Amino acid sequence: MGECRVYFKQFLDERCGCASYLIASRQSREAAIVDPAIDTGQYDELLRERAFRLKYVIDTHIHADHVSGARRLAEKHGAELCLHESAPVTYPFRGLKDAEELPLGQLRLRILHTPGHRSELISILVINPPRSSEPSMVLTGDSLLVGDVGRPDFGGGDAAVQYESVSRLLRLPDWVAVFPGHFEGPCGKGMCGRPSTTIGFERRYNPLLRLERPEFISTLAGAVPSRPLNMVAIEATNRGREDAAWSMLTSLPPVEEVGIEALHGLGADAVLLDVREPEEYAYGHVPNAVNLPQAELATRLAEVPRDRPVFIICESVMRSLRTTQFLRQMGYAQVTTVRGGTAAWRKSGQRVVTEEGRGKPRVVESEWTHAGGTTASAGG
Ligand SMILES: [Fe+2]
């Protein structure tokens, strides 16, 4: 039965917690790549080694946390660049419709429109008709995640719509394997960390999917992680409105770090940059700290001086670490992360500046809503 075989590979990017996929027919040697990372060399190599011909490159949605490699890859291999027909991008693409099937050798990639995280988000069912007319796998983008669902609050999503979309996915048979767009990172708020699951397991044990509709919606509207590093520049790049592929953190340079006690002895020319969200900053920040949310960093890079010592602070450490690494990547020499962050400052009994009438922020800090390592000395 050599004529019905499939090739399937999942690529995991530890830096942003993203998963991408290559699916191919071993019969026709045609391949599709879904949600490619900006490092497209890994796919080129595999296509060459396996002698696959790239037919489709599909982005499940406009990503806000990483720059997509889809356009670059499609152009290089003469493949069709595909997104849902409603995708708000400035470049040409093949617009996919709900229930449409893309032939890939003997395989069929059936498109399901599953908005909620973003309005144009699609899931992709993989069907191998010589074996079964039933799907064996579903690639869910940021709709259904392992133990979680994609957050609806940035990029024009909608919690009620997400409820309908994941309910639709849960009507698939138990055995269908689920391959999400993320296994870590800020696109959800409680991902399990495993890179795949099944419909049956999620229907039974995903904590959000056991909620009734009103509770599901209010939970998604509750506490959220901060917006991703450089989100504004990344989203604009993926829409074709900007060309800021440089805004991706692609290296892990070692960074200098100090504890909060160092904040007492900062020189007059030093800048203390608070990279949390405005609502967190307003609720309480270290005196003299200036707010520049990490999501806006690349867009507002000119505001960060290159000729003065810059200290980066967040709530604990993850955002300041990533920001410092990014500034190092951009050639900033005098940049240091403040370990322990505003939480350590507050805990040590020091005064924080609070803007009057500001309530508790929705944004919550958790190490687990960030991808990648937590130490400043991560080499490479
Ligand atoms: Fe996403």
Give one DSSP letter per residue of 234-269, joined into a string: HHHHHTTS---GGGS-------EEE-GGGGGG--TT
Kindly report the pTM of this predicted structure. Answer: 0.93
Distance between Cα 318 and ligand 1 center (Å)? 19
Q: How far is the CA of 352 from the centre of ligand 1 (A)?
A: 34
Looking at residue 366, what is its pLDDT?
Answer: 66
User: pLDDT tens digits for 235-269?
Assistant: 999 999 999 999 999 888 999 999 999 999 899 99
Among residues 18, 187, 192, 314, the one annotated as catalytic is 314
Q: What pLDDT does residue 4 have?
A: 77
How far away, in angstroms, is 186 Cα from ligand 1 center? 9
> Is 314 annotated as catalytic?
yes
Q: State in Å: Cα 66 to ligand 1 middle.
A: 9
Distance 154 CA to ligand 1 centre (A): 9
pLDDT per residue over 30-52, tens digit each?
999 999 999 999 999 999 999 99
User: What pLDDT score was predicted for residue 82?
Assistant: 98
Å from CA of 181 to ligand 1 middle: 7
Rounded CA-CA distance 110/88 in Å is 22
Structural contact between residues 264 and 196, judged by C-beta atoms closer than 8 angstroms:
no
pLDDT of 377 strictly over 60: no
* Confidence (pLDDT) at 376: 60
- Look at residue 187 and tell me whether its pLDDT is greater than 60: yes
Q: What residues are neighbours of ligand 1 (ion), with CB under 5 Å? A: 142, 187
